[in-house]
Amino acid sequence: MGYTRTSYVCLPCRASYKQAYDTGTEVRRCPRCAGALLHAGSAFAAPPRRDAAAWRTLTLLLNAGIRFHKGCCGGPGYRPRTRHEVRERTLYARRSGEPLERALLHREVPWERATTR
């Protein structure tokens, strides 16, 4: 049986690399800038390098701890695609007290729960 490949991302270079996944503690390095690569998950699809807004949104998601792993039904589930969607969910998390990493995964923002407090 072969080994599993997963995506690693260099945010400053706006580059994604598929590499073998191992649980070792070694830090993966970007071949372009020698910076540390972030593990993005096996279901990750990188936006085009010239799409700065998509890379800013991706930076917010990865720094919040959101990853793109395959689920049981074939995908990682909902992930915000624009800064507006991220801002809405961040505001909801602040108002409701829900952790940011959970609030970012809501497809629809449940505002009624956030405004009743």
State whether 97 and 55 are in the same domain: no
| 36 in a structural domain | yes
HSE-up of residue 6 (Cα within 13 Å, Cβ side): 16
User: What percentage of residues in the chain have a pLDDT greater than 70?
Assistant: 83
Which pLDDT belongs to residue 1?
Answer: 46
| 69 in a structural domain | no
- Pick the more confident residue, 22 or 62: 62
State whether 22 and 58 are in the same domain: yes
Model pTM greater than 0.85?
Answer: no
Nearest Cα to Cα of residue 59 among 5, 107, 14, 27: 14
Nearest Cα to Cα of residue 96 among 86, 84, 109: 109
State whether 13 and 50 are in the same domain: yes
In DSSP terms, 17 is beta-bridged to 8
| 71 in a structural domain | no
Structural domain including 88 reads: 83-115
Q: How many structural domains comprise the chain?
A: 2
Q: What is the pLDDT of residues 90-117, one digit of tens each?
A: 899 899 888 888 888 888 887 655 454 4
Nearest Cα to Cα of residue 78 among 111, 97, 99, 105: 105
Lowest pLDDT segment from 43-47, 58-62, 87-91, 110-114: 110-114
| 72 in a structural domain | no
Mean pLDDT, residues 59-72 taken together = 83
Residue 45 to residue 68: CA distance in whole angstroms? 9
